[in-house]
A and B are shown apart, each in its own frame.
Chain A
Amino acid sequence: MSSTWYSLIGLASGVAFILALKGLSHPKTARRGNLIGAAGATVATLSVFLYVTPGKDGAEAHSLPIHNLGWILGAIALGLIVGVPAARKVEMTQMPQLVALFNGVGGGAAALVAIVEYLNLGDTATTAEVIFTVFTVVVGCVSFSGSIITFMKLQELMTTRPVVFPGGRFVIAGTLVAVLGVSVWVVVALGTTPLLVLALLSLLFGILFVLPVGGADVPIVISLLNAFTGLTVAASGYVLSSTLLIIAGTLVGASGTILTRLMAEAMGRSLFGTLFGAFTAKPQAATGAAEERPVRSGSPDDVAILLNYARRVVIVPGFGLAVAQAQHTVRELADLMISKGIDVAYGIHPVAGRMPGHMNVLLAEANVPYDQLAEMDEVNPTFGQTDVAIVIGANDVVNPAAQTTPGCPIYGMPILEVSNAGNIIFLKRSMRPGFAGIENELLYDPKTMLLFGDAKASLTKVVSALKAL
């Protein structure tokens, strides 16, 4: 295959990626868009086996077969054996951390490619090539270690709260300065040792960079690291003279940046506040005193009675619904209420769950009619006319502290104003605070009733109690 054909195939893959992103931006074309992207990636990968770009000094362009073919195919097979089952078997609730993990390994791959190419080019590397290599190693390593930390936070292998240690900001600033210093060292004095030091420092920086981010803001960070990885792929494309990698990497970098901003806006957060908020926030006062206060808990029968005499009910789902896999049960409850002539709507907070859009996906799985799903701006003005708001496994997205307590980690985030409803029912597993780790005053409100237990079990009991009425 000639280099012209190879370039044309690369261009076609680039176009496929543009169409993929475009398709993914609209609900109707999203699935097709993803398949177009997969097709583009497959064609691009196959084309490398048919044509190999020139190697060192531009003189090594060789014909088929490519070197180390057996090893390469073996490595791809290993990747498939690991990647496909992981993606297939993962639970709905664990998808966010899997995406974080995939992003991390992508960043790691880009960093490794840059290191190998650096070793391979040796003294023949131009300054520009070295600079792009350094960029890829630094950002790729940051993306790798940062994504691993976000994975651990989401998987709850470590605390989901912001991790801040004394003088933390100076340690982070110091590490960043060290990374920049060693980068210059690598560019000036070419060598393997400085590059290795740089990689290790970058990994450290990635960890320090993500540790102070609070649990609720983790999706934004994943999106940002995703954009980072895109840029490293673009930089590798420069070093490897691959137009395809430049186009694909830049597309992801640019769209990822916009997406990060959109997500931050949906949560009412500034990007800066997300990343560095933990350093500026004042320590929270008076969280301990709340433990002993009385709450009103009820039985499934109490809940059923309340619902039976309501005219309008808004269901507010959260991560607890996803954990309990209660989406089908909640639909059953909604259908039952509708058959009793009760007006039912789902109030969907854009970032309820662990990722934006999590609840839409979950309820779509249970075939909840789309017109029953009301977005935040739509449903908030209606809480005044709502008799009962049922909050199922959600906490932070209805926490009035976001409006009333300046300095708390979620301050400024738009919330679902369930406190305006006539009655509030919380389905909770325990009194434990939400993912962001903040006490919710609403739980102690006199018009709040708590129903403890697994969301699915509780809902099933409420459904049978309501049927019996």
Chain B
Amino acid sequence: MDAMAITSIFVLSVFVGFEVVSKVSSTLHTPLMSGANAIHGVILVGAIIVADHSENNLELGLSLAAIVLATINMVGGFVVTDRMLEMFKPKKDASAAAKKEDEAAKGGQK
């Protein structure tokens, strides 16, 4: 890839990165950080590429270690973020209760 194309991609990504999170309530700071943390786990892709290129045991060993760490970062990151956000779900009890009431009302009409 030529340097200009890379620079363009880099600069544009910086601005997109700034833009997408510029207005976020403090409630979401933690999940957002955790989600961004999971995203940089795609270094897994790089780790797999270098494992493929590896020419001796040292290189292979180091790149396999990188794969393990990157997988933990990526998969663990997305799972823990999902668990945090699970708590924000619309209230189960309230909606379930509302449903029951609806059903009861319908039953009453019959």
Residues of A within 8 A of B (CB): 13, 17-18, 20-22, 24-27, 30-31, 33-35, 37-38, 41, 44-45, 48-49, 52-53, 55-56, 60, 66-68, 71-72, 74-76, 78-80, 82-84, 86-88, 90, 95-96, 98-99, 102-103, 105-106, 108-110, 112-113, 115-117, 119-120, 128, 219, 222-223, 226, 229-230, 232-234, 236-238, 240-259, 262-263, 266, 350-351, 355-358, 360-362, 364-365, 367, 369, 375
Q: How far is the CA of A107 from the CA of B95 in the complex (A)?
A: 42
Taking CB atoms, residues of chain A closer than 8 Å to B40 are 103, 106, 110, 226, 229-230, 233, 248-249, 252
Q: How far is the CA of A234 from the CA of B14 in the complex (A)?
A: 11
Counting CB contacts under 8 A, is B98 at the interface?
Answer: no
Taking CB atoms, residues of chain B closer than 8 Å to A99 are 30, 33-34, 37, 77, 80
Q: Is the beta-carbon distance between A66 and B94 smaller than 8 angstroms?
A: no
Q: A48-B45, A79-B72 are in contact. Are A87 and B54 (CB under 8 A)?
A: no
Q: Is the beta-carbon distance between B50 and A240 smaller than 8 angstroms?
A: yes
Q: Is the beta-carbon distance between A266 and B26 smaller than 8 angstroms?
A: yes
Q: Is the beta-carbon distance between A83 and B71 smaller than 8 angstroms?
A: yes
Instruction: Select B36's contact among A21, A41, A113, beta carbons within 8 Å.
Output: A21
Counting CB contacts under 8 A, is B62 at the interface?
Answer: yes
Counting CB contacts under 8 A, is B59 at the interface?
Answer: yes
Q: Is the beta-carbon distance between B36 and A83 smaller than 8 angstroms?
A: no
B16 (CB) vs chain A CBs: closest residue: A18
Q: Is the beta-carbon distance between A55 and B53 smaller than 8 angstroms?
A: yes
Q: Is the beta-carbon distance between B1 and A241 smaller than 8 angstroms?
A: yes
Tally of A-B Cβ pairs under 8 angstroms = 372
Q: Is the beta-carbon distance between B53 and A256 smaller than 8 angstroms?
A: no
Taking CB atoms, residues of chain A closer than 8 Å to B17 are 21, 250-258
Q: How far is the CA of A367 from the CA of B81 in the complex (A)?
A: 19
Q: A37-B39, A357-B29 are in contact. Are A113 and B63 (CB under 8 A)?
A: yes
Q: Is the beta-carbon distance between A105 and B72 smaller than 8 angstroms?
A: yes
**How many Å from the CB of B23 to the closest CB on chain A?**
7
Q: How far is the CA of A25 from the CA of B24 in the complex (A)?
A: 5
Interface centre among B6, B74, B88 (most CB of A within 10 A): B74
Taking CB atoms, residues of chain B closer than 8 Å to A246 are 6, 9-10, 13
A351 (CB) vs chain B CBs: closest residue: B26
**17 pairs across A/B with beta carbons < 8 Å?**
A25-B21, A30-B32, A72-B64, A72-B67, A86-B72, A87-B83, A90-B83, A106-B69, A106-B73, A108-B69, A110-B40, A112-B65, A120-B59, A245-B46, A250-B13, A251-B39, A254-B15
A115 (CB) vs chain B CBs: closest residue: B62
Instruction: Select B43's contact among A22, A75, A109, A241, beta carbons within 8 Å.
Output: A109
**How many Å from the CB of A119 to the closest CB on chain B?**
6
Q: Is the beta-carbon distance between A80 and B73 smaller than 8 angstroms?
A: no
Q: Is the beta-carbon distance between B94 and A103 smaller than 8 angstroms?
A: no
Taking CB atoms, residues of chain B closer than 8 Å to A361 are 27, 30, 84, 87-88
**How many Å from the CB of A93 to the closest CB on chain B?**
12
Majority secondary structure of chain B interface residues (helix, strand, loop or mixed): helix
Q: Is the beta-carbon distance between A30 and B85 smaller than 8 angstroms?
A: yes
Counting CB contacts under 8 A, is B25 at the interface?
Answer: yes
Q: Is the beta-carbon distance between B58 and A357 smaller than 8 angstroms?
A: no
**How many Å from the CB of B58 to the closest CB on chain A?**
7
B70 (CB) vs chain A CBs: closest residue: A109
Q: A68-B52, A250-B10, A367-B91 are in contact. Are A21 and B79 (CB under 8 A)?
A: no
**How many Å from the CB of A91 to the closest CB on chain B?**
11
Add 10 more A-B contacts to A106-B74, A375-B26 (CB < 8 A).
A76-B68, A79-B72, A83-B73, A108-B69, A109-B44, A117-B53, A229-B37, A233-B43, A258-B22, A263-B29
Q: Is the beta-carbon distance between B71 and A96 smaller than 8 angstroms?
A: no
Q: Is the beta-carbon distance between B36 and A252 smaller than 8 angstroms?
A: yes
Instruction: Select A34's contact among B16, B25, B35, beta carbons within 8 Å.
Output: B35
Q: How far is the CA of A75 from the CA of B64 in the complex (A)?
A: 6
Taking CB atoms, residues of chain B closer than 8 Å to A53 are 49
Q: Is the beta-carbon distance between B42 and A41 smaller than 8 angstroms?
A: yes
Closest CB pairs A-B (n = 3): A79-B71, A254-B17, A83-B76
Q: Is the beta-carbon distance between A245 and B43 smaller than 8 angstroms?
A: yes
Q: Is the beta-carbon distance between B47 and A113 smaller than 8 angstroms?
A: yes
**How many Å from the CB of A105 to the closest CB on chain B?**
4
Taking CB atoms, residues of chain B closer than 8 Å to A350 are 26
Q: Is the beta-carbon distance between B36 and A226 smaller than 8 angstroms?
A: yes
Q: How far is the CA of A391 from the CA of B73 in the complex (A)?
A: 36
Taking CB atoms, residues of chain B closer than 8 Å to A86 are 72, 76
Q: Is the beta-carbon distance between A25 and B28 smaller than 8 angstroms?
A: yes
Q: Is the beta-carbon distance between A44 and B24 smaller than 8 angstroms?
A: no
Taking CB atoms, residues of chain A closer than 8 Å to B35 are 20-21, 24, 33-34, 37
Taking CB atoms, residues of chain A closer than 8 Å to B74 are 41, 45, 83, 106
Taking CB atoms, residues of chain B closer than 8 Å to A236 are 43, 46
